[in-house]
Structure 1
Amino acid sequence: MANKLHPSNIQHIEITDPLFGRYVSMIAESILPYQWGALNGRVDISDSDQWEALNGRVTNERVSSCIDNFRIAAGEKNGTHSGAVFQDTDAYKWLEAAAYCIQIGKAGALKEQADELVDLIASAQQPDGYLNTYFTIANPEKRWKNLAEGHELYCAGHLIEAAVAYYHATGSEKLLTVAKRFADLIGTVFGPEEGKCKGYPGHQEIELALVKLYRVTRENRYLDLARFFLSERGKEPNYLIREMETTKDFRLFPEFSHYDAEYAQTHLPPIEQTSAEGHAVRAVYMFSAMADLAKECDDEQMKQACKTLWENITTRRMYITGGIGSSGLLERFTVDYDLPNDRMYCESCASIGLMMFGQRMNLLTRDASYYEVVERALCNTVLAGISAKGDRYFYVNPLEVWPDNCKSSTSMSHVKPVRQEWFSCACCPPNIARTLASVGQYIYSEDEKSIYINQFISSKLHTVMAGTDVTICLNSSYMQDGCVRITVESACAHPFTVRVRVPSFMKNPVFLLDDTEISPVTENGYAVLAVSRAGEQTFTLRALVEPEFVAANDQVRSDIGKLALMFGPFVYCLEEADNGKNLANVFVDCNATIQRGESLAELPGDLPTFSLDGERLIRTTEQTGALYAKPKFEKAKGSLEAVPYCLWCNRNPGEMLVWMKAQL
């Protein structure tokens, strides 16, 4: 591990940014308390049609039974399992988010609830170490019999992640012991040894979790098990296909009756895959684990496979918002450049997984370019997934919405025009919470000689370099005046470097040291700032950051002849609240002047709005009202107002549009 790059400890990071700091504070104050109520059945599930599909029956009880399932499994309550087979992970991700709040000193009353949940989870563990409420309550004889659909290993992975986070936050090994017992049981069931099952998870997650468990315990068996799951995947005969053929009497999801190997990335061994296929979340969770293993095992072949897959996603299959997953059918990748704006999926969890993959690739390669995508996903899709008040959520994140067309009886029913209170499959809300609570890990990373600044989110870092206490104060105002100020305070004169990512949206960057211009060298997209004396010194990055129009590659058929507006990493959109209906009939000149406006008082973060001139085409044929008529148009000019995509639908519901037609 000598001099390996790793994320900075979030316990030593204070987020002061007006946008992200607000969300971080809200996690403990309101977001997790709201989610705790949801997990305890006190919030109605909005997508009731999907609830019925997941439960296989119609019922009037459309609330989450997540915590009740643990009580039943622990013998504290009588009843039957209710909810999705993977619902345990809602509690695990909630607990992981709570652990991060404890770690950064913002837990408050959450600590008591987190401890209560840890005790409940431990009580639900079976004598042999097994832990899964669905199979314990509803199908104990079916353990490990349906890896394609059962999500046992997926749930185990999120348990492990929660346990590692809780251990780091509290020092308590209670949940870590629970996780180790379950992981050890899994290790007796699965593996390359004779007599063990050669299966692997239908939904990847446990692989990256086992690497986390290895890093805490330094016990190689967990790393070996992660490698086994990845190396076995994609071999012929295909385990999951064979399983689906031989267990037809035990089906959990009817839509999987015609199993597609690409859907779960079992069509090829992971190191032979060259394009992102199938379910988007499963894919990026697997790719994240591959990057972890490439780093831990110095596996060059795995590293190259990760680079190839990253390149495929980010140059052919990713939305401008950092969203991934072009099809609502099975929530999956489709083909290169297929990026429809109104009926795609772009699940919030998928963008979080893309952030995880990008962060790991940066740690593996020390290449700043990966954070271009991490930042894009965080500042757009991930933030858009939660309301400004923190109590409503998007599962799907479209780039164009016509609310009238998002009906349950259409192919657009998966696209919701407003955020929902809760979901039958509620993976996204606690995933967003754990990501925002730990956002500090995406700002700073470090090794023995350097501190890396990856994103300009105002914050403070306290760490140690070469045995010396160091404080970094990052004050980012680039969206106001193009400046980022980095104050470094070192207790002793031990030399180290601060490496600052210079984003592509910053034009003509200049660095100053205590008001004197300097010319730092650049390595892999980082400006290398040398610190060699004790005391305080301030580095300033000045650059031109302006709003600009962006056009998509000509191969993206949905965006041909269209423009999107960006300011820094933030994508902007038009909303009906400002621009009226039928936003599809908006045309903009790519040379139009973009006027900066004030931020909206009802929206957080002090992000500016922008106004620009546009026009609409009005059909003026004499056959007024006819559905079709001879073409005759007039132009109606008017002013348009654009707001940050991450904050859309926080006012009045209505239409929304990212890609505007270009005037020719």
Structure 2
Amino acid sequence: MRGGLHMYCEEKIQLKDDFWGEKVRLIREKVLPYQWEALNDRIEGADKSYCIRNFRTAARVNALRRQGATLPEQPTDDFVSLPRGNALLPEHKKGDNAFYGYVFQDSDLYKWIEAAAYSLMMKADDSLEHTIDEMVDLLEEATLNDGYLDTFYSIKNPKKRFSNLRDHHELYCFGHLAEAAVAYYEATGKKQLLHLAERFADLICELFGKEEGKCHGYPGHELAEMALVRLYRHTGKTSYLELARYFVLERGREPNYFRKEHGEKDSDMRYYQAQQPVLEQMEAVGHAVRAMYLYSGLTDLAVEYDDGELAKVAKRLWKNVTRKKMYITGGVGATSHGEAFSYAYDLPADSAYAETCAAIGLVFWAKRMLQLQPKGEYADVMERALYNSVLSGISLDGTEFFYTNPLEVDPKACKEDERLWHVRSRRAKWFGCACCPPNLARLIGSITRYIAHHAENTTWIDLYMGSVLRTKWQGKTVEIETTSHLPYTSEIAVRLNNPSEAEGTLAIRIPGWAEQWSVEVEDEDGTVWPVDLANVQSETLNSCGDGQQKAGMSYEYREGYLYLAIYGQKKVIIRPHFAMKPVFYEANSLVRENSRQMSLVCGPLVYCLEEVDNGAQQHMLYASPEAVEQAETYTLPFLGREAVGYQFAGFRKKANTVSDPLYHKAEREEYQPVTLKWIPYFAWANREEGEMRVWIYKK
């Protein structure tokens, strides 16, 4: 197998970034303890999890069966649907041998363990490690003799396991177990959890595959595919990689396994991305999170097998998502019906689903697309999703969460319009279906994995975050230190410390939002070389002595990266200058919901209007495209010392009164001048409840 490009692990990158350092600290100090309480059902007024309780029940039931007890077989055809408005689930009776919550509840603990593992990589915490070890002991007690681990079937009826791959989530939960196990081993060197994951993986390999006598199914909710690849990369067991490939390529083939499983001839398989073989799929359809995880897995396989057909599919689907079905915030999945993709260019702002997990999945996929082929557009999308639709999913204090991320909100509509049942004007303490909160924790906790990637003697800087990265060129250690003040200013410097004068290439990303840019390179002698944009396709910078070239650099620009080939240099400082100013963006005219509207963007951040700053009835606000050229910054104390918003002149349309007729003859409109105040989208709903909108009408 090729193995291909790869991302770094945390121990090779030290985070030294003000913005993301604060987010990681929040995960460690506030989010992980809070979520631990939520998983144990100890958050007052929050939806119940039942997660830890189910593991304790499974361990107890497992022990009883090992002692020879005969327990009643419980029905396994139930699935707790997401209650409208996230209503509280029924309270459980303590001490009974019943499963409570959703069929995928196990995964919340696995994601929490993975997030905690990343935290341990950053900073040791004996108490946290002890808590995880206790949970690992509990997981071992809940594991069946052959390695099977899923509390839903272990509690209810083990004989029925793998009988409903389409709707139940055994393989999905296994995927999160495997991800957590690898992360915890990387953090601590402890093998107990990894051993449990391998036992379960070996059982799945034994039961599933193309061979006669094996189950010819695949996961209903994808995730096992990329988890198996990660487990393969860690263990070297090719059976895991082969099973991942089988799951991807078997999906959607005829006879369709899901239709056969449920005896249905005409059911719509698009929700499961199983409407046709993966190699034939032309557009992103169905449940958005499932799709993101499938596409991440197939891209992993394209890298590992150097598979041109899978690579073609990945690029085709990427183009469909990012050019026709993605919100300006990086959110994906427009409709609440099936938490799914809608048709091309259907991107309503007020009813957007844009699940937090889907944005996280898009980040996962973008990372893998960079491994497949380093292109700036993949990092651009990764950055856009991270700073906007991902971070909006968590409150600034880390204790409240959004499941969906609309681009326009009216609190009255949230409460009174059943069509907007899924839209909230305030974040929730927790969810009965709590896939998003621990997913946020594991992504933010592992943020250093997204900064850079490396292959052979080339290192790509994908995201500009303050960090120190150590890698090898020609087998010799080099250190790459980045300083950055994003997302509020574009002051950036990249320093290469190369004491062995190893030859290698440093590729720095030129962000798509930088309409103008320049780069200065300072060599070890202090000579500053400006990159000549007129000749940026290929140019050489030389330091010469006695008429002979002794050291230097050559550079070229391609596909969103500036490649600097460095030789004979112990120290190099690269100073990119990116024009970063607030600008108005318009949507493609085929997006009918955004007709004659504009969105304010500055660098990686999308901005929004909140009622607390701009008053209610925000649909009456207008701006001219030129007004943004006079934008001024203003401080946002609630958001942090360096955070800034933008303010500039706009208009408010004269409003009718309740005594006016519902319809009237069209007349010339009247406007009042106002000052529009914009804040980063990710920070909305952290102050007073009120309206919010990303898009403003153009005047």
What is the TM-score when the length of structure 1 is the normalising length? 0.93
Measured against aligned partners, the alpha-carbon deviations of 1:384-430 in whole angstroms (never above 9, x if no partner) come to: 10011011000000000001111276111111111110001000000
Amino acid at match of 2:529: T
Of 28, 39, 48 in structure 2, the residue corresponding to residue 63 of structure 1 is: 48
Question: 1:385–1:397: 8 Å Cα contact kept in structure 2?
Answer: yes
Instruction: State how far apart, in whole Å, the 2-side matches of 1:473 and 1:192 are.
Output: 48
Following TM superposition, where does structure 1 have runs of at least 4 consecutive aligned residues deviating by more than 6 angstroms?
none
**Cα distance change of structure 1 residues 414 and 45 upon mapping to structure 2, 3 Å threshold:** farther
Alignment match, 2:102:
84
Alignment match, 1:551:
586
Instruction: State how far apart, in whole Å, the 1-side matches of 2:427 and 2:679 are.
Output: 17
Q: Indicate yes or no: 2:473 matched with 1:460.
A: no
Task: Give the stretch that moved more between structures: 153-162 or 4-13.
Answer: 4-13
What is the DSSP-based 3-state SS (H/G/I as helix, E as strand, rest coil) of the residue aligned with 2:678? strand
Alignment match, 2:671:
635
Alignment match, 2:173:
155
Amino acid at match of 1:487: R
Instruction: State how far apart, in whole Å, the 2-side matches of 1:649 and 1:313 are.
Output: 28
What is the DSSP-based 3-state SS (H/G/I as helix, E as strand, rest coil) of the residue aligned with 2:516? strand
Alignment match, 1:361:
369
**Cα distance change of structure 1 residues 334 and 617 upon mapping to structure 2, 3 Å threshold:** same
What is the DSSP-based 3-state SS (H/G/I as helix, E as strand, rest coil) of the residue aligned with 1:406? helix
Q: What aligned pairs does 1:186-585 form with structure 2 within 5 A after superposition?
A: 186-245=204-263, 259-407=267-415, 410-477=418-485, 482-514=490-522, 515-519=528-532, 520-533=555-568, 535-585=570-620
Task: Give the stretch that moved more between structures: 508-517 or 317-326.
Answer: 508-517
Shift of 1:451: 1.5
Measured against aligned partners, the alpha-carbon deviations of 1:265-301 in whole angstroms (never above 9, x if no partner) come to: 1101111101000000001100111100011111111
Question: 1:31–1:391: 8 Å Cα contact kept in structure 2?
Answer: yes
Amino acid at match of 2:54: N
Measured against aligned partners, the alpha-carbon deviations of 1:249-271 in whole angstroms (never above 9, x if no partner) come to: xxxxxxxx984200001101111
Of 145, 155, 162 in structure 1, the residue corresponding to residue 163 of structure 2 is: 145
Task: Give the stretch that moved more between structures: 441-450 or 505-514.
Answer: 505-514
Shift of 1:319: 0.3
What is the DSSP-based 3-state SS (H/G/I as helix, E as strand, rest coil) of the residue aligned with 1:336? coil
Of 645, 659, 666 in structure 2, the residue corresponding to residue 609 of structure 1 is: 645
Shift of 1:107: 4.3
**Cα distance change of structure 1 residues 108 and 553 upon mapping to structure 2, 3 Å threshold:** farther
Q: How many residues were matched structurally? A: 637
Alignment match, 1:19:
19
Q: Indicate yes or no: 2:133 matched with 1:111.
A: no
Alignment match, 1:172:
190
Question: 1:19–1:604: 8 Å Cα contact kept in structure 2?
Answer: no
Structure 1 residue runs without a partner (length 5+): 47-61, 247-256
What is the DSSP-based 3-state SS (H/G/I as helix, E as strand, rest coil) of the residue aligned with 1:268? coil
Alignment match, 1:93:
111
Instruction: State how far apart, in whole Å, the 2-side matches of 1:326 and 1:396 are.
Output: 10
Question: 1:44–1:63: 8 Å Cα contact kept in structure 2?
Answer: no
Amino acid at match of 2:6: H
Instruction: State how far apart, in whole Å, the 1-side matches of 2:415 and 2:656 are.
Output: 31
Instruction: State how far apart, in whole Å, the 2-side matches of 1:411 and 1:449 are.
Output: 54
Question: 1:15–1:24: 8 Å Cα contact kept in structure 2?
Answer: no
Shift of 1:612: 1.7
Alignment match, 2:690:
654
Task: Give the stretch that moved more between structures: 137-146 or 545-554.
Answer: 137-146
Alignment match, 1:250:
none
Shift of 1:624: 3.7
Alignment match, 2:551:
none
**Cα distance change of structure 1 residues 79 and 258 upon mapping to structure 2, 3 Å threshold:** farther
Task: Give the stretch that moved more between structures: 282-291 or 624-633.
Answer: 624-633
Instruction: State how far apart, in whole Å, the 2-side matches of 1:587 and 1:455 are.
Output: 34
Amino acid at match of 1:466: Q
Amino acid at match of 1:166: Y
**Cα distance change of structure 1 residues 370 and 480 upon mapping to structure 2, 3 Å threshold:** closer
Instruction: State how far apart, in whole Å, the 1-side matches of 2:637 and 2:321 are.
Output: 36
Instruction: State how far apart, in whole Å, the 2-side matches of 1:445 and 1:123 are.
Output: 39
Instruction: State how far apart, in whole Å, the 2-side matches of 1:68 and 1:657 are.
Output: 40
Question: 1:511–1:540: 8 Å Cα contact kept in structure 2?
Answer: yes
Question: 1:594–1:610: 8 Å Cα contact kept in structure 2?
Answer: no
Alignment match, 1:73:
58
**Cα distance change of structure 1 residues 605 and 168 upon mapping to structure 2, 3 Å threshold:** farther
Amino acid at match of 2:303: K
Instruction: State how far apart, in whole Å, the 2-side matches of 1:217 and 1:329 are.
Output: 40
Question: 2:487–2:605: 8 Å Cα contact kept in structure 1?
Answer: no
Amino acid at match of 2:426: V
Task: Give the stretch that moved more between structures: 17-26 or 423-432.
Answer: 17-26
Of 583, 590, 594 in structure 1, the residue corresponding to residue 625 of structure 2 is: 590
Question: 1:391–1:421: 8 Å Cα contact kept in structure 2?
Answer: yes
Shift of 1:477: 3.1
Instruction: State how far apart, in whole Å, the 2-side matches of 1:545 and 1:362 are.
Output: 24
Question: 1:18–1:605: 8 Å Cα contact kept in structure 2?
Answer: no
Instruction: State how far apart, in whole Å, the 1-side matches of 2:371 and 2:641 are.
Output: 29
Shift of 1:478: 5.7
Instruction: State how far apart, in whole Å, the 1-side matches of 2:20 and 2:655 are.
Output: 45
What is the TM-score when the length of structure 2 is the normalising length? 0.88
Instruction: State how far apart, in whole Å, the 2-side matches of 1:196 and 1:219 are.
Output: 19
Instruction: State how far apart, in whole Å, the 2-side matches of 1:464 and 1:71 are.
Output: 46
Amino acid at match of 2:57: I
**Cα distance change of structure 1 residues 441 and 557 upon mapping to structure 2, 3 Å threshold:** same
Q: Indicate yes or no: 2:31 matched with 1:31.
A: yes
Percent identity between the two aligned chains = 42
Task: Give the stretch that moved more between structures: 471-480 or 521-530.
Answer: 471-480
Shift of 1:341: 0.4
Question: Of the two, which has the highest radius of gyration?
Answer: 2
**Cα distance change of structure 1 residues 464 and 546 upon mapping to structure 2, 3 Å threshold:** same
